[in-house]
Amino acid sequence: MGLSMVQNMPKDRLARLEAALVPKKGRFYGKLGLLLSLSIQKIIRSSLLTICILASSHFLILAFGGWGILDAGNEELLKMVSKLQSELEAVKAEHVSEKQKALEEVKKLHAENAKLQYRITHLVRSLKEVDSKLAP
């Protein structure tokens, strides 16, 4: 089970998950909803890749280690396992940083949304005052 096989494993599952997470009418609104949807997609994509890499490295350790092949000094398999584990760590670190960036952006958008809601409320109140003054 090589690295290319691991990278190709989640594509079908990923496509189905991405299709399920596409913003539907009435489900998400505006920039905030789209950002949340895209952030969720990124998190799921990196989580699936992490799971696949982890599963393949565990498979290699259990399958070949259990048969004594790794103990026999097969350097190629040891290198493959260590490469998969280092890639797993890199993906985990990237996942954490993407999650932090997404959370910061969501906080900014929540603050912007609150400001806009306040402005709308103020404009509606002003419009009602003007209407009441103009009414006979």
pLDDT in tens, 58-69: 666 665 555 555
pTM of the model: 0.42
* Spatial separation of the C-alpha atoms in residues 53 and 3, rounded to whole Å: 8
Token pair recorded at residue 106: 């969501």
pLDDT in tens, 21-48: 554 544 545 555 566 666 666 777 777 6
CA distance 127 to 124: 5
